[in-house]
Amino acid sequence: MAMFSWWGDRVVRWRWGVLAVGLAFVVIAALWGTSVFGSLVSGGFDNAKSESAIAANLVSTKLGRDTADIVILIRNPDVTVDNPAYRLAVAQVEANAPQNDVRSIASYRSTNSPAFVSEDRHATYLAITETNTDAAVDIAAYDPLKADAARAGYTVQVGGQEALNAEITDQVKTDIAKAESLSMPILLILLVFVFGSVVSALLPLLIGGIAIIGAFTALKVISLATDVSIFSINIVTIMGLGLAIDYGLFMVSRFREEVRSGESVQSAVVRTMTTAGRTVAVSAVTIAVSLAGLLIFPQTFLRSMGFGGIAAVLIAALGAITVLPALMAVLGHRVDAWSVRPLLRRIGLGRTPEAALAHDQGFWYRWANTVMRRPVAFMLATVAILLILATPFLHVSFGGVDARVLPTSSESRQVSDAMIREFPGGAAQPIRAVLTLDQPITSAAGQTAVSSYLSEARGIPGVGGAAISRARGQTAAVDVAYQGQALDPGAKAIVHQVRALPQPAGISDVHVGGYTAEVVDRLADLGSRLPWMALIVALATFVLLFLAFGSVVVPMKAIAMNILSMAATFGVVTWIFQDGHLASLLNFTPTGTIDATQPILVFAVVFGLSMDYEVFLLSRIREQYDRTGDNRFAVASGLQRTGRIITSAALLLMVVIGAFSTSSVTFIKLIGVAMFFGILIDATIVRSVLVPATMRVLGDANWWAPAPLRGFYRRYGLRESEKEVADRDLGLTALGRR
């Protein structure tokens, strides 16, 4: 297949045009795409078509929204709410509260409900229900109100779901800026050490910048058609920067290797495209397919992560096979400009990745042969380690997202903690059944139907009571109380039992909602689609790896090893974030659960990233096997030729991921930590031990495929013959002479 060498040839010929188009794209993306933050939404963890979502929508449309979107917590340690001066201060706070989009404000004064007074009677709150929750809340608009109250001796804090969403959005923006400022200088220093040249080091970072603003532009376009979550920005930045650096490292290293072997600049670009460019393309498509599995889920959060990840990966790859080779063609030998090798040699760090390739029997070659002398022992030991790491995942408990995703210093988090700790019923999250009646609730038939339903609900084991909380017309909301926490197995069982209740005469429909029901629906929804996602990702990965390597064994082995690596990663994540180990070090609050969307997202991302290194390593092994026909030599030589580059790439990617793991939002931190450990496990014990061990055990069978598939691969496989490359080189030589 001559596609990659053909494109390399065209990039050399059209290098200035390619760079001009790339510059135009960067300018447009910088001016328009970076405004994407204003188009993104918060939340999106649930399916809008689930039963609990329908129940919430019925309450909103039929009974009127009663959710406390904004909670203004008022406190005075010296005065109780019974004092007239306190009541006057609360009335003043209510009068000064921003009135935009306010449907109603409930308070102790307006309801006389003890639920609005803290147990020590020194605190109370205002519950604001908004007319439009689509517009972001401006938390800063409450600052004058806080200042006025403080002068009178009262502390005012703003919380509630909408304030929480706004604070998370602001925190995401802050965290991204912090992560970029942390990672960029470290990446530049490490790349200078890896390449020994400032110019070479800047090239991958340049592609990273293009990938990030390009993916922002893609998200901006997507947001015109559907909701896109604010959290997708994190995955765009992590994967855009991380993979662009990986791809840039692969491409620049191969180009310098070819130039130093005596090839002309033009020929070096073509050979780089034929080898590393092909690898980049296969890797990017494989990762994009893995992330595409997220698009089958209805949750905005997961779909947005899929959109963002796919955009970042494909644009990173596009930049690596267009702008980067054009730059290399222009720079030529000047790619090594601003060399720091003399300094590196003085401190004993003078070898570059491609220089290490000249030593065919270096460290990685010797290590591969050490593993291959006892492949079964190494294989069994590695699998045992991965399974041990995976064991904590056996007791995983899935939950939801609440204010504890923010640090204790967060104002919304402090309000939430105070509501739970200090106010009667603050922790209560009843199961809510929304009844649609045949007759109005005020009629005798309506009363009889509701009474019958209440009697049935109260008879469920574990239910502490059931009562009508709100009613209007032919709709009634029944709150079912229970003992224990909202995510206890008993509470989840009650949701199922309430849903299984027979509908009494006079009730046409029942929808069960509430926080516990939301989590139950989320788990059921994700669980029903997860097998399809896994099947899609596995089949697509199998097909792509077959087209890349012409074997049916290599794809199956790669998928099996990735599953082991994923299991180990899930175990580490459960041990840290559910069980609470390292909570102080990582600065988060363990909740005893993991949000059910997180393992699915981690699976898609880490599975794809693991395939990145798999494709790069196997490409070199296959290249050597085609040349020599010796499987053992091909494995050792392939590991020697990729070991240092993969290690460098993994280190650079872990720097990016590590910087984003400093996020103050817990589930973003979880994604970062999971990616960090996933890459660490994959780039160390999997690629350096399990791959050579299994390939030694399988021998030439690694490259086996049925005869019909071998013929298909020869005709349609993603490979280029030596003759095609040689022919292309002859054309370039003639071009150079002209």
Averaged pLDDT, 162-173: 85
Give the up-direction half-sphere exposure of residue 593: CA atoms within 13 A in the CB hemisphere: 18
pLDDT-derived band at 723, boundaries 50, 70, 90: very low
pLDDT per position as a tens digit, 505-522: 999 999 999 989 998 999
**Main-chain dihedrals φ then ψ at residue 207, nearest 5 degrees:** -65, -35
**Site of tokens 């998200």:** 219
pLDDT-derived band at 295, boundaries 50, 70, 90: very high
C-alpha 628/C-alpha 540 separation (Å) is: 30
Compute the mean pLDDT over every residue in the chain, rounded to the nearest whole number.
87
Averaged pLDDT, 485-492: 82
- Whether the CB-CB separation of 512 and 433 falls below 8 Å is answered with yes
Partner residues linked to 482 by β-bridges: 463
Q: Which of 172-186, 418-432, 463-477 has the lowest mean pLDDT?
A: 418-432
> Of 190, 179, 187, 186, which Cα lies nearest the Cα of 205?
187
Partner residues linked to 72 by β-bridges: 126, 158
C-alpha 147/C-alpha 143 separation (Å) is: 6
**Site of tokens 């629906």:** 521
Angle, nearest 10°, between helix axes 232-260 and 631-660? 140
**pLDDT at 729 (0 to 100):** 43
**pLDDT at 428 (0 to 100):** 63
pLDDT-derived band at 58, boundaries 50, 70, 90: very high
pLDDT per position as a tens digit, 89-145: 999 999 888 887 788 888 888 888 888 999 999 999 998 888 776 667 788 889 998
pLDDT-derived band at 733, boundaries 50, 70, 90: very low
pLDDT per position as a tens digit, 446-455: 999 999 999 9
> Of 249, 285, 320, which Cα lies nearest the Cα of 8?
320
Helix (H, G, I), strand (E, B) or coil at 629: coil
**pLDDT at 2 (0 to 100):** 67
**pLDDT at 83 (0 to 100):** 92
Does pLDDT of 234 surpass 60?
A: yes
pLDDT per position as a tens digit, 248-262: 888 988 898 888 888
pLDDT per position as a tens digit, 669-718: 998 899 899 999 988 889 899 999 999 999 999 999 999 998 888 888 77
Does pLDDT of 728 surpass 90?
A: no
Averaged pLDDT, 546-553: 90
Residues near 364 by Cβ (< 8 Å), separated by ≥ 6?
636, 639, 640, 642, 643, 644, 688
**pLDDT at 721 (0 to 100):** 44
Estimate to the nearest angstrom the gap between the alpha carbon of 593 and the chain centroid: 18
Does pLDDT of 719 surpass 90?
A: no
Look up the pTM and report it: 0.83
- 454 is written with which tokens? 């209440």
Residue 341 burial (CB count, 10 A): 16
